[in-house]
Amino acid sequence: MLRTYTLPALPYGYGDLAPNISEDQLKIHHTKHHQAYVNNVNAAFERLDKAVKEGSEIDRKAFWKDVSFNLGGHVLHSLFWPNMAPPSRGGGGAPGGKLADHINLCFGSFERFKREFGLTANTGEGSAWAALTFSPEANRLAIMQIEKHNVNVFPNHVVLMALDVWEHAYYLDYKNDRAKFIEAFWNIVNWDEVGKRLERLL
C-alpha cells in the first residue's frame, strides 16, 4: 500500500535547544519549512498517481526535479533534528568510541575535523548543507557540502550528521551571521546519535 511522507516529531521540545537555537526559530523551521518539503513531495506523487490512474502524461523532467529537491529536504531535515540534543541531555562536547577513532583516523584530530566541517558549512553557496558522511566501501568518513538539498551528493555515502545552513535555519537568532550559528551548533551536537549511525554501518 502506498503511503505519504510525514513530518517527524522532534525528540525534544521547541525551547530545549535555546539559547543555541531559540524556540521561535526552531518552531518555524520545523513546522513551516520542513513541513513544506513534506507537503510538496506528497503533492508531486499525488500528481503522478493521478496521471497513472488517468493514463495521462506528466512533465518528467519537472516532476523528478521537484521530487529530488523536496524529498532531499525532507530526508536531510529528518536526519538533522535527532543529531542535535540539549546540553542537559548530552548535547555538545566531543564524540567517543568508534566515531572518535574514525575522526582521528580520517581527519587527524577532532579539532581539525571541527575546523574542516565548519569551513565547509560556512562556504556553502547560498542555500546549503554540511554533512559528515561514511562510505562503507572505503571505510572512510568524509565531509560533504550539499547545495540546496540534492546537489553534490556523494554516491554510496551515508549521512551521519547534517547541518542546515540555509538562512531559514538561523535568521531569527543570528541574522546573516552563519559562522556564529555554526559555532553554536557544536554546543548541541548529539554525538551519541551520530555514533550509533556509524556503528550500524560497521
Q: Give the residue extent of every domain in the chain.
A: 21-202
Residue 76 CA to its chain's centroid (Å): 4
Instruction: Tell which wins on pLDDT, 22 or 125.
Output: 22
On the question of pLDDT at 68 being above 90, the answer is yes
On the question of pLDDT at 51 being above 90, the answer is no
Mean pLDDT of 134-163: 94
Amino acid at 84: M
The closest alpha carbon to 89, from 9, 187, 182, belongs to: 187
% the chain with pLDDT above 70: 100
Mean pLDDT of 63-80: 96
pLDDT confidence of 75, banded at 50, 70, 90? very high
pTM of the shown model: 0.95
Q: What CATH topology corresponds to 21-202?
A: minor pseudopilin epsh fold (3.55.40)
On the question of pLDDT at 178 being above 90, the answer is yes
